[in-house]
Amino acid sequence: MKHYILLSVTVPNEVEDEKHAKWRNLAQRLESLAKKTEGIVQLGEGVWLLPRDQGMPFAAECIYLAQANSLTVETRFLSGDDEPSS
């Protein structure tokens, strides 16, 4: 059985310019980091599915950056036999 982490960062409304700018910066950093980590699938804007065994550094960085920028991040732990598809 495979184990995954589902991470979701709440994307601020564009009306909130400062928070949205922080989000764009965070998203760019995470996109770069995700490319370096095998098995991470971006499911949508602000949503990633990570393999638990390889995705912990990405999860830690995501949570740290979101909290440092006052953005909401949610995590879910999932198990399953199927491989994620991008």
CATH 3.20.20.210 for domain 2-80: no
Q: What are phi and psi of 49, to 5 degrees?
A: -110, 125
pLDDT reported for residue 76: 94
Q: What number of residues does the chain have?
A: 86
pLDDT at 1 exceeding the cut of 60: yes
- The model's pLDDT over 23-72, given as tens digits with 9 standing for 90+, comes to 888 899 999 999 888 899 999 999 999 999 889 999 999 999 999 988 89
What is the residue extent of each domain of the chain? 2-80
Concatenated DSSP letters for 9-22? EPPPPTTSHHHHHH
Indicate whether this model's pTM tops 0.85.
Answer: no
Pairing type for strands 47-51 and 73-80 reads: unpaired
